[in-house]
A and B are shown apart, each in its own frame.
Chain A
Amino acid sequence: MGDVSLDQAQDRHAATVAARRHFLTRFVIYGLLVIFAAIYLVPLLVVVLNSFRDQQEIARNGLISLPRSFRLEAWGQAWSTYCIGGTCEGMQRSFYNSLKMTIPATIISTVVGAMNGYILSKWRFKGSEALFTCMLLGVFIPGQISLMPWAFILGNLGLSNSTYGLIVIHVIQGISFTTLFCRNYYVSIPDDLIKAARIDGAGFWRIFRKIILPLSSPILIVTVIWQFTGIWNEYLFGVVFTSGQQQPITAALVALTASGTNVRAYDVMSAAVLIGALPPLLIYLFGGKYFVRGLTQGAIK
């Protein structure tokens, strides 16, 4: 009897020790997660809050402090009236430039990548694997290698300092990526499906339309998201091949933040930075699953 109750007491003691340890580890885990989350979120929070604060208040209390004023004017200024290097029309033009560049380049490179991936996985021919490997090399070439050749080619095509020139660059540069994505996805579609369709007399385009395309939406979403964010965020080609009114938004942002000589207008600059970050951020928030999939696929393959 006595022994049993002792055992029970010991068990209970062990159970409370285990529970306490469990609680402690949980506490440490969530504590660390909260600390890291704060480190990741504070910069974003600072920019968002400052875009609504009064410039004088920012100058007085610094960038990182609780807001004591609220105004929307900075957003209007950042969008349409703030002066960057002599022209006073805010970010709107460069925002449109970026859209005009990113949307066509994304669509063209995705369509071409889907076709290439379809051919390289379902219409293989002698040497197609070797050709695929050659195309992949394009993923690794640093942009600096192609600067001089592009300058020469765009100049001869009459496309220097234009959005169209940037579209050409991003399409050619993007093909390696989009082909890689689509090819690796199409490989997993059973070849028997294609064979059966061919026996039924379906040709190249019909098979693509009736079999491949209906199965493609996951990879097309991944590719579009990858290309859109990549091209929207690109800076090197934007700053090298365009100037002034033709600049995409990344180049305009650098020009904007460099132009403040005396008092830095943190309120307007914060709003401008957010305008530049918003399209890819929205895509990330709504298509996060696909964004991550693209990331891991593009990385591991």
Chain B
Amino acid sequence: MSNHDLILSTPAPARPWRERLGSAMPLLVLGPSLVASFVYVFVFTGWTLYISLSNSSLLPTYGFVGLDNYASLWANRRWNIAYNNLFLFSGFYIVGSMAVGLLLAILIDQRVRGEAVWRTIFLYPLAVSFIVTGTVWSWLYNPTDGIQAMVRGLGWTNFSFALASDRHYAIYAVIITGVWQSSGFAMALFLAGLRSVDSDLIKAAQIDGASTFRIYRKVLLPTIAPIFLAVAVIQIQFAIKTFDLVAALTKGGPGISTTFPAIYVYDLMFQRGQIGEGAAAAIMMLAALAVVLVPYSLWVVWRRRKEAGHG
């Protein structure tokens, strides 16, 4: 309508006006997403940071208390357990899922029959939620109904397997389940890497008479080294955010033995009404992520520049 009026009153500038609209179109379409992302990344983070420095309890209030929330967080035994668990879990989980994933990738890489079937089997846990995985594994760990009961039923009546209900070992139940869920992911990435290695390299090694084992150790694995780092970084990221798996598997128990930072944040904010301290814990999670991701991204950028320089 207004467009039409414009053309009637001033015929000449009509085209530039439309052209200007045309050239502004990309920004107009992109605008809302940019604003939303900006708010999501910067405003939300700043907001939570501010709450973490305030005396908020049940509702956010904005009395400034400096680092008090951080001090009481680090003085709390449960937070320290959560933080220790995070380190323990990350270490075993990353090494475990990468080792299993690499083994599976190498096995599948031996020109096995029915490759697609094997891959489908090893990857399906990834499609399912951690809630489903955690729930099912909590049944398997249950001493009276699960694995222990089955083995005892077979005759070993002294067999004991009660990982998840023992507070010293429950964290290993979480680790095993985590590795089960995500080693297929490591496998997929490693396999993609192995397949992308230049086949001339392999042929040259074969002509030199190198054994398969040697070819993997000396040629293939060094070539896909960057993938190891990528997988590790992704897994650490996941480990820091771990919430669903523990919520469904052990609910942080027995007692507080499998508390994770993400579980603790949820508890502080929504069960105990200590929003300030909960926000402080969330900021600590972000800090942990940054410690991993910032050096990694810098390294990736540096490597790309170097490659571009050589190429």
Residues of A within 8 A of B38 (CB): 134
Contacts of B256 in A (CB 8 A): none
Does B139 contact A145, Cβ atoms closer than 8 Å? no
Closest Cβ of chain B to A281, distance in Å, is 6
**B140 adjacent to A64 (CB under 8 Å):** yes
Question: How large, as a class, is the contact surface on chain B?
Answer: 35 or more
The interface on chain A, measured as residues whose beta carbon lies within 8 A of the other chain's beta carbons, has a size of 82
Does B26 lie within 8 Å of A148, measured CB to CB?
Answer: no
- A33, A43, A120, A141: the one contacting B40 at CB < 8 Å is A141
1/0 per position for A48-91, CB-CB distance to B under 8 A? 00000000001001111100000000000000000000000000
Contact pattern, B 112-141, Cβ under 8 Å of A = 1, otherwise 0 = 100000111111111111111101111110
B247, A254: Cβ atoms closer than 8 Å: yes
Q: Is the CB of B149 within 8 A of A63?
A: yes
Asked if A141 contacts B33 (CB within 8 A), the reply is: no
Contact for B37 among A175, A203, A280, A295, CB less than 8 A = A175
Contact: A172 with B26, CB < 8 Å? no
Could you say which residues of chain A place their CB within 8 Å of the CB of B22?
203-204
**Complex contact A276–B132 (CB within 8 A):** yes
Taking a contact as CB atoms under 8 Å apart, the answer to whether B124 and A284 are in contact is: yes
What secondary structure prevails in chain A residues at the interface with B? helix
Residues of A contacting B247 in the complex (Cβ-Cβ under 8 angstroms): 235, 239, 254
Q: Is A186 an interface residue (CB 8 A)?
A: no
Q: Which residues of A contact B (CB under 8 A)?
A: 29-30, 32-33, 36-37, 39-41, 43-44, 46-47, 58, 61-65, 112, 115-116, 119-120, 123, 125, 131, 134-135, 137-138, 140-150, 152, 172-173, 175-176, 179, 203-205, 229, 232-236, 239-240, 250, 253-254, 257-258, 264, 266, 269, 273, 276-277, 280-281, 283-285, 288, 291-292, 295-296, 299-300
Q: Which residues from chain B sit less than 8 Å from chain A, CB to CB?
A: 22, 25-27, 29-30, 33-34, 36-38, 40-41, 43-45, 47-48, 51, 60, 100, 103-104, 107-108, 110, 112, 118-133, 135-140, 142, 144-147, 149-150, 153, 180, 184-185, 188-189, 192, 227, 230-231, 234, 237, 240-241, 243-244, 247-248, 251, 262, 265-266, 269-270, 275, 278-279, 281-283, 285-286, 289, 293
